[in-house]
Structure 1
Amino acid sequence: MLPEQNIVRMLFGTLYGQSVTVKARVATEMIGPVGPFVATYGNGRPRPLGVVLFDLPMAAISSSALTRIPPMTVADAIKNNALNEMMEENFSEVMNLCSRLLGRSDGPAVRFEHSYSSPAVAPDAVRDIIKEPLLRDDWEITVPGYGSGGIAIMSRRIGE
């Protein structure tokens, strides 16, 4: 089971210490000049339990808002199609904390396992989830002062 909208809002709001807006959006391939960034989550088994995709704006916004990097840095990252070094470090922490989006209180512990710069460089098991997820929710997240970006939360297996 994937998280409900209020869980996504609470996680990201807690990360940034402010209210965020979370809206459902139509599933999209999230194709852009970069990414989407791919984070995989699992419980130590060979195949991942789930995947979260982040478009470039969301990667830039989430990594900047985490440690209050000035918002103009988000625009620079989008213009340059790349996160700077500090944003990359912060984004690793964001991906780690997003493990809570795929875990369940009555299920096995789920942890962040790997990240990839795009689905094209991810292993087959990850691309399989992206191509044919059992469950998928797409969200647009707006962080005041930083802007809006998208994530897609996908799961192939339930309750493992």
Structure 2
Amino acid sequence: MLPDRKDIKDLFEGLLGREVALTDGTPVDLGIPKPIVASYLDDAHGLRAVAVMSFGLAARSGAAIALIPKGAAEAAEEDRLLPVNLFENAAEICNVLAAPLGEAMDTHLRLAETFAPSDPVPAHLLALAAQAGGREDLELDISGYGTGGLSIAVAV
């Protein structure tokens, strides 16, 4: 029901054009600095999954995909403010993540919405993101940019 780790690694490496090491992680903290939360719906408009990208991963992957120096990601973390361009870039990665999620679930999924760190996230999405089962928690290390967490939770 969850995508293979190799599929996630390949997705990030393909989009970022850099090597990405993927290891076991812990659930992405929903506190401060707030992460990016993406929700995925099936064709019947049912909520099937959420992806939670740590603030650090959002900043680092958002910078890496656009070849922006890693200093921009570091400044965003220091300021706890994710610039619009880095958010939009990270949101595009969340959009592409719908494909391996859907393949793992054997259904078509689409990105419904991506919430920036400054956006209020609906309670039902936070509840799914915090569930104990049906989840994968990963730590991604983007070559030249650093690490960040990614949690994926599927509706069970």
Gaps of 5+ in 2: none
Matched to 1:89, the amino acid is E
**C-alpha separation in 1, matches of 2:2 and 2:42:** 16
Change (3 A) 1:29 1:147: closer
2:38 touches 2:111 (CA, 8 Å); kept in 1? yes
**C-alpha separation in 2, matches of 1:99 and 1:22:** 19
1:47 touches 1:125 (CA, 8 Å); kept in 2? no
Please state whether the residue corresponding to 1:90 is helix, strand or coil: helix
**C-alpha separation in 2, matches of 1:115 and 1:14:** 21
Which has the higher mean CA deviation after the structures are superposed, 45-54 or 97-106?
A: 97-106
Deviation of 1:72 (Å): 0.6
Which residue number in structure 2 is paired with residue 111 of structure 1?
Answer: 110
1:20 touches 1:144 (CA, 8 Å); kept in 2? yes
Percent identity between the two aligned chains: 25
Which residue number in structure 2 is paired with residue 51 of structure 1?
Answer: 50
Matched to 1:21, the amino acid is A
**C-alpha separation in 2, matches of 1:39 and 1:30:** 15
**C-alpha separation in 1, matches of 2:123 and 2:34:** 17
Matched to 1:78, the amino acid is E
Change (3 A) 1:107 1:5: closer
Please state whether the residue corresponding to 2:138 is helix, strand or coil: strand
- Provide runs of 4+ in structure 1 moved above 3 Å: 44-47
Matched to 1:95, the amino acid is C
Change (3 A) 1:29 1:55: closer
Which residue number in structure 2 is paired with residue 14 of structure 1?
Answer: 14
Which residue number in structure 2 is paired with residue 87 of structure 1?
Answer: 86
**C-alpha separation in 2, matches of 1:16 and 1:109:** 24
Q: Deviations over 1:89-129 (max 9, x none)?
A: 212211111112311177221111112235x9322331231
Deviation of 1:133 (Å): 5.3
Matched to 2:3, the amino acid is P
Deviation of 1:88 (Å): 2.1
Q: CA RMSD in A?
A: 2.0
**C-alpha separation in 1, matches of 2:92 and 2:69:** 18
Please state whether the residue corresponding to 1:2 is helix, strand or coil: coil
TM-score (norm 1): 0.86
Which residue number in structure 2 is paired with residue 75 of structure 1?
Answer: 74
How do 1:11-160 and structure 2 match up within 5 A?
A: 11-25=11-25, 27-104=26-103, 107-117=106-116, 121-132=120-131, 134-157=133-156
How many pairs align? Answer: 155
Deviation of 1:33 (Å): 2.2
Please state whether the residue corresponding to 1:30 is helix, strand or coil: coil
TM-score (norm 2): 0.88
